[in-house]
Structures are given as C-alpha cells and as structure tokens.
Amino acid sequence: MQIMDVSCKELRKRAWNRLADGNYWQSFGASVVGSIVGSIGLIFTAGAMDAGVTNYYIKQQRDQDPEFTEIFGGFERYGSTLGGYILRSIFIFLWSIIPIFGQIFGVWVKPFAYSQMYYFMMDEGLGANDSITKSKEMMNGYKWKLFKLSLSFIGWYLLGALTFGIGMLFLAPYVDATMAEFYAELLRCHGASKESGDDQTSAEAVFDLTDAVETTTPVEETEAPAETAAEEPVAEEPQSEEAPADDVEPTDEKPEE
C-alpha cells in the first residue's frame, strides 16, 4: 500500500480535463438520468443505476469512449446491485443505532469504507458481499483522503444551493468523474491499476507479432530438409541415362568392318 500523494485539486483537474474533451454533455445526461431513474424507482432501481453510472465513468476515465447506454448496465447484474444496495444500507443503519461512537462510524466512517462497492462490482464482477468486503480492505488508510476530496466540493455545493438546486445538476458529472479518478488512483496505490483501452490494444499487437514470429520460424526450418530431399532424385536421373549412351557406341563400329 502506498500513500496517495496526489492532491484533491489534481484529481479534480484530471476529471475536468476529461469532461472538457467533448465528453461533458453526454456525461451530464448520464449523471442526471441515472439520478432521476434511481430516485423514481427507489430501492428497486437505485442500486442498478448507481452501478451503471459508476461503470460509465470507469470507462470514461480509461479513455474507452463509453456509450450513453452504459448507465443501464447495472440491470444486467440486477441481483448483485440490488443486494449491494440493501446490504450497505443495513450495515450503515446498524452502525448508526449504536450510541455515540456507532453514530460517528455509521455516519462519517462507514459510508467512505463502502464507497467503492459499485466500482469493484462492475469493474471486477464481484458479488454484493465480496464488493463490500473489498471496498473496506482497499479503503483502509484512504478514507480521510476521500473525505477531503468530497469536502473540496463544498463551495460548488453552496453555489448550487443558491440556484435552487439547478446548479447541482451541472455539478453532478464533475463530481462523478472526480470520484472515478480517485478510484483509479486507489488502484495505483495498491499496485492494481488497469490499463487504458489504447494501452491494451498496443499490448495485444505486440503479443500478436511475437506469436507470428514464433509460428513462422519452425516452418522455415522444416522446409529446408524437404527441398534437399526433393533434389536427390533429380540428381540421380542423369546418371541412369548415361549408361545406355555408352553401350550404343560399340554397336555402331560393327558395320564399318
């Protein structure tokens, strides 16, 4: 485990640069639609939409150009997303009913410990309980960093409140993209960073080239003996034709006598 030395400002800058690169309005729609659909269906759609939006920003962070329909990808794993939403809510509730220290953990600590649940669920295909467990393990030592990152948006939240919540809609993709940058940095700190789509393509090309070289080399080695074997009978044919040519000369001398 390494120290996450990247600043909150740098994470926000990375997120904004990706959004500014022609991705803002599609991301705006992904965050807003995901929030609305998740709120309408409450427990039945909240988990699936949260997971789908999370998966959308994971792919965006890796330069994989996600489609808008990625936000509905959580319904493909509906059992896991629903189970994760319920389990996380239960765990936080149980912590919060414990007097004093339990309320502190339930309100301020555990939500950050479970914050990466949907990331691991969609990125690694883990189930509900395994995603929660891995989120707790990976966030050990990084909860304070995520708390500071969340707190760094306080000014934007206040500005959004002054616009009667309208500004919060435009802030949503910025926050979601920044959280995806945090997840990527979390993986790097644990030595488990994922490559971008371009890097994977170049790596596959290298392996394909290596396989091509390995397969062509033995073919050349096997063709060489075949050529020599084919030349041997050709070399013997003139020798067999010279013998009768020598036998004809004595027969031509008899009429002269």
**Which pLDDT tens digits describe the chain residue by residue (257 residues)?**
688 999 999 999 999 999 998 889 999 999 999 999 999 988 999 999 999 999 999 999 999 999 999 999 999 999 999 999 999 999 999 998 888 888 788 888 999 999 999 999 999 999 999 999 999 999 999 999 999 999 999 999 999 889 888 889 999 999 999 999 999 999 999 988 876 554 443 334 333 433 443 444 444 444 444 444 444 444 444 444 444 444 444 444 444 43
| Assigned token pair, 242 | 């010279």
| Assigned token pair, 133 | 């467990």
d(CA 19, CA 92): 32
Instruction: Write the pLDDT tens digit of every residue in 75-123.
Output: 999 999 999 999 999 999 999 888 888 878 888 899 999 999 999 999 9
Q: At a CB cut-off of 8 Å and minimum separation 6, what does 66 contact?
A: 55, 56, 59, 60
* C-alpha torsion angle, residues 175, 176, 179, 184 (rounded to 10): -140
Q: Are 139 and 146 in contact (CB under 8 A)?
A: yes
Rg for the chain, CA atoms, rounded: 35
| Assigned token pair, 1 | 């485990």
| Assigned token pair, 140 | 């050990």
Read off the DSSP letter of residue 193.
P
Nearest to 139 by CA among 182, 181, 173, 98: 182
Read off the DSSP letter of residue 6.
S
What pLDDT was estimated at residue 195? 61
Instruction: Write the pLDDT tens digit of every residue in 136-151.
Output: 999 999 999 999 999 9
What pLDDT was estimated at residue 196? 57
Q: At a CB cut-off of 8 Å and minimum separation 6, what does 75 contact?
A: 48, 52, 81
Length of the chain: 257
